């Protein structure tokens, strides 16, 4: 019996250690973002307001151990990054973008988005997803090593529900401040 308990404790310890290894910081996130399946603790501040078929207000900040950057933004191809708030064991809220054109290093201004994805998950409602076109407004995009910073707002109108939410729509406005940039100068 004690041997079984020991293996469970060792297995949990290895799982926790593995999960910690996939968390990158601003210093080691790389020039384009965290690698596939990894997350980065570089989000200083994050808010997301949703209205329409569902309403929600989500807030997160650096150091809360729940607000993270996912995906990448390589300046020679389309951007596909997002911000995830939550963990695998509780409520999650996520907004992700896909741009058609590259977001070049240091670029600011209005950027048309091919897709905005908004996803919520909780044990009561399970997964709820919406998608549609939108706009990314970058107000600051510093790509200097050691000073990387990106601030902006993501706006999507009439994002359509996916799956069981087909035919329902939401509007979303999300603002962010990150120790990150699309590439490094």
pLDDT tens, position by position, 31-75: 999 988 899 999 999 999 999 999 999 999 999 999 999 999 999
Tell whether the model's pLDDT for residue 21 goes beyond 80.
Answer: no
Percentage of the chain lying above the pLDDT 90 cut = 75
55: burial class by Cβ within 10 Å (0-12, 13-18, 19+)? exposed
Question: How far is CA 7 from each of CA 1, 15, 16, 58, 131, rounded to the nearest angstrom?
Answer: 10, 12, 14, 38, 43
Helix, strand or coil, per DSSP, at residue 10: helix
71-111 per-position pLDDT tens digit: 999 999 999 999 999 976 678 999 999 999 999 999 999 99
pLDDT of residue 9: 34
Q: Flag whether the pTM goes above 0.75.
A: yes
Q: Could you tell me the residue ranges of all domains in the chain?
A: 2-178
102-156 per-position pLDDT tens digit: 999 999 999 999 999 999 998 888 899 999 999 999 999 999 999 999 999 999 9
């Amino acid at each position: 019996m004690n041997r079984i308990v020991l293996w469970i404790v060792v297995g949990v310890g290895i799982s926790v250690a593995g999960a910690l290894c996939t968390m990158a910081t601003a210093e080691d996130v790389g020039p384009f973002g965290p690698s596939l399946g990894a997350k980065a603790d570089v989000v200083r501040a994050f808010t997301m307001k949703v209205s329409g078929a569902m309403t929600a207000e989500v807030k997160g900040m650096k150091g809360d151990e729940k607000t993270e950057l996912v995906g990448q933004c390589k300046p020679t191809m389309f951007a596909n990054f997002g911000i995830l708030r939550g963990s695998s064991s509780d409520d999650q809220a996520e907004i992700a973008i896909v741009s058609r054109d590259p977001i070049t290093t240091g670029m600011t201004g209005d950027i048309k988005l091919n897709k905005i994805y908004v996803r919520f998950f909780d044990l009561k409602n399970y997964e709820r997803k919406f998608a549609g076109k939108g706009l990314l407004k970058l107000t600051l995009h510093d790509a200097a090593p050691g000073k990387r910073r990106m601030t902006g707002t993501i706006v999507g109108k009439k994002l359509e529900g996916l799956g069981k939410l087909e035919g329902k729509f939401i509007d979303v406005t999300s603002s962010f401040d990150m120790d990150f940039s699309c590439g490094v100068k």
